[in-house]
Structure 1
Amino acid sequence: MARINSQGNHENPFKGNNLVRLGWFLIAAYLVYSFNAMGLEWTRIVEGLGHANALLDRMFPPNFSRWELLLSGLAESLEIAIIASITGIILSLFFGLFSARNLMPNWISIPMRGLIALCRTFHPVIIAILFVKSVGFGALAGILTLVVASIGFIAKLFAEAIEEISLKQVEAVRATGAGFASVILFAVMPQVFARFIGFATYQLDSNLRNSTMVGIVGAGGLGGTLFSAFQRFDYDFVSAILITIIAIIMIGEFLSNIVRRIFS
């Protein structure tokens, strides 16, 4: 909201100065340098649009004739996402509690925060490659990958939500002589449970998407089927797989909205 000065005029909330102008100039100069350094040209974009048009012509109409293969990959992706989400949510509940600085001493919260930060350091595809090398191809690598991703997201936000709670309720429950578990159940969780459900439903939605992505590197699920279809230049089947993925994500979004409304 713009402020009003003593003369009754609106003040510009985005006042500029030489330092800000210099910063914008440096950003613009770096963008120009980056475009030139990477050889980005408008002609390549125009040519790419032509290739994309040819690709779309080969993708439509989608081919659902191999629906058994499609459903098999889809079922595995759903199993990976659900198992990983439930496991990651349960672990994140404890990791978030132990990393909250207003509830735990530094010798507990600092190592836990470091572990959570490590879980979200790498992209899920990189983590999937590491697990594929460790436990082999298949759904187990995908589940472990998404568990790590879930901890990195939910535990961090859950810990931050706990640190924002009112400590008056915590002190009131402690004054009754209640133990640590009772304090968590009756003073902490009622204040953050709705937000935790929101984090969990969002991560489930994210895991549904990522379960197809990690399959591209051999971690099971529909991603492996998609990658094989691309390798065979079977673009009409690729289109069928992509439409199925979009439908599943839309259904997941609809269900997550219902869950959030119930617990909000």
Structure 2
Amino acid sequence: MSVTASPAYPTTWRPPSLFGSRRRRFIFWAAVVAYVIWSVSDLNIDGNRILAGLPRALDIFARMVPPDFSRWEMLLSGMVESIQIAIASTILGALLAIPIGLAAAANLSPRPLYLLARGFIVVGRTFHEVIIAIFFVKLFGFGPVAGLLTLAFSSAIFLGKMLAEDIENMKEGPVEAIRATGASFGQVVGYAVVPQVMVKQLGVLIYRLDANLRHSTVIGIVGAGGIGQTLSASFSRYDFDFSSAILLTIAALVALGEWFSDWARRRLR
């Protein structure tokens, strides 16, 4: 009588492959390499232009040192305007995000209103802040008003999406208990929704304020106020030493905002 040998079992554990087999993995990476080669060749990248630009880059960097802080009044005015735009737009965006988030939550909103709110969020998230800033500059002209409306709109979309997702992921027990008492929609939101999402939304709000501090320095390049507008003007005048001072000030502002954001989030935990 023959004895059937028992199958050998692996003695070490290996995580499952993402592609399922070596052949699929090879095909995937071959397609990635082929796509990269095709993209680079189709962009018509001129190596001579890149080499010709290196001396100009060195000349610009040389002219940026040392930074010129002599016009500190202009620098301070632009930074204060950027901070004002960031704070005001965050507050306005947070207020606008409340009805958007409530309408975009599937467990609170009727289906037609939910689809309308979600569609508005999707369309709003399609456009970058710079594109929105260009649109508002065309409507309201150059200055901080365009920057305020740009970041308020972007903040409302972002915070509304985060609020809707938090509401959809919250525990349904408190909501059902409050509804069982015959409470109105406002009472359900106030006593069942707000206590569950408040702390996390405060953290998201602080994060958005930090992001708006950075965005407020960028949208000014297209004329939406703030220090970015001063930076764009300095580059247009080839005033590179003053541009260097502006860039260092922007870096300090962003670092300060990052520190404040981390400190505030630690206090909320």
Provide the TM-score with structure 1 as the length reference: 0.92
Deviations 1:149-189 (A, max 9, x none): 11221111221111111101111122233221221122112
Corresponding position of 1:120: 125
Q: Is the contact made by 1:62 and 1:236 (CA closer than 8 Å) also made in structure 2?
A: yes
Task: Specify every segment of 5 or more residues in structure 1 that has no aligned partner in the other structure, as ranges.
Answer: none
Corresponding position of 2:105: 100
How far apart are the structure 2 equivalents of 1:69 and 1:104? 49
Provide the aligned length of Structure 1 versus Structure 2: 260
Amino-acid identity (%): 45
Deviations 1:5-44 (A, max 9, x none): 9432222432534333222211110101111111336665
Which region of structure 1 is more displaced relative to structure 2, 219-228 or 193-202?
Answer: 193-202
**In structure 2, do the counterparts of structure 1 residues 28 and 188 end up closer, same or farther at CA, with 3 Å as the change threshold?**
same
**In structure 2, do the counterparts of structure 1 residues 100 and 235 end up closer, same or farther at CA, with 3 Å as the change threshold?**
same
Q: Is the contact made by 1:216 and 1:223 (CA closer than 8 Å) also made in structure 2?
A: yes
| Aligned mate of 1:230, from 231, 235, 258 | 235
**In structure 2, do the counterparts of structure 1 residues 6 and 91 end up closer, same or farther at CA, with 3 Å as the change threshold?**
farther
Corresponding position of 1:88: 93
Q: How does 1:116-195 map to 2 (within 5 A)?
A: 116-195=121-200
Task: Specify every segment of 5 or more residues in structure 2 that has no aligned partner in the other structure, as ranges.
Answer: 1-7
1:47 positional shift: 5.2
3-state secondary structure, aligned to 1:7: coil
1:51 positional shift: 3.6
| Aligned mate of 2:13, from 4, 10, 13 | 10
Which region of structure 1 is more displaced relative to structure 2, 207-216 or 10-19?
Answer: 10-19
Which region of structure 1 is more displaced relative to structure 2, 117-126 or 229-238?
Answer: 117-126
Deviations 1:59-85 (A, max 9, x none): 111110000011111111111111111
How far apart are the structure 2 equivalents of 1:258 and 1:156? 24
3-state secondary structure, aligned to 2:57: helix
How far apart are the structure 1 equivalents of 2:49 and 2:195? 55
How far apart are the structure 2 equivalents of 1:183 and 1:163? 14
Corresponding position of 2:255: 250
| Aligned mate of 1:57, from 42, 58, 62 | 62
| Aligned mate of 1:78, from 83, 86, 109 | 83
Deviations 1:219-244 (A, max 9, x none): 11111100010011111100110111
Which region of structure 1 is more displaced relative to structure 2, 122-131 or 35-44?
Answer: 35-44
The answer to whether residue 78 in structure 2 is matched with residue 66 in structure 1 is no
How far apart are the structure 2 equivalents of 1:138 and 1:97? 32
| Aligned mate of 2:246, from 233, 241, 244 | 241
Larger radius of gyration: 2
Q: Is the contact made by 1:218 and 1:224 (CA closer than 8 Å) also made in structure 2?
A: yes
Q: Which amino acid is the alignment partner of residue 191 of structure 1? A: Q
**In structure 2, do the counterparts of structure 1 residues 34 and 184 end up closer, same or farther at CA, with 3 Å as the change threshold?**
same
Q: Is the contact made by 1:161 and 1:192 (CA closer than 8 Å) also made in structure 2?
A: yes
Aligned residues: CA RMSD: 1.8
The answer to whether residue 255 in structure 2 is matched with residue 259 in structure 1 is no
Q: Which amino acid is the alignment partner of residue 13 of structure 2? A: H
How far apart are the structure 2 equivalents of 1:92 and 1:175? 28
3-state secondary structure, aligned to 1:120: helix
Q: Is the contact made by 1:119 and 1:151 (CA closer than 8 Å) also made in structure 2?
A: no
Which region of structure 1 is more displaced relative to structure 2, 111-120 or 46-55?
Answer: 46-55
How far apart are the structure 1 equivalents of 2:47 and 2:115? 49
Corresponding position of 2:42: 37
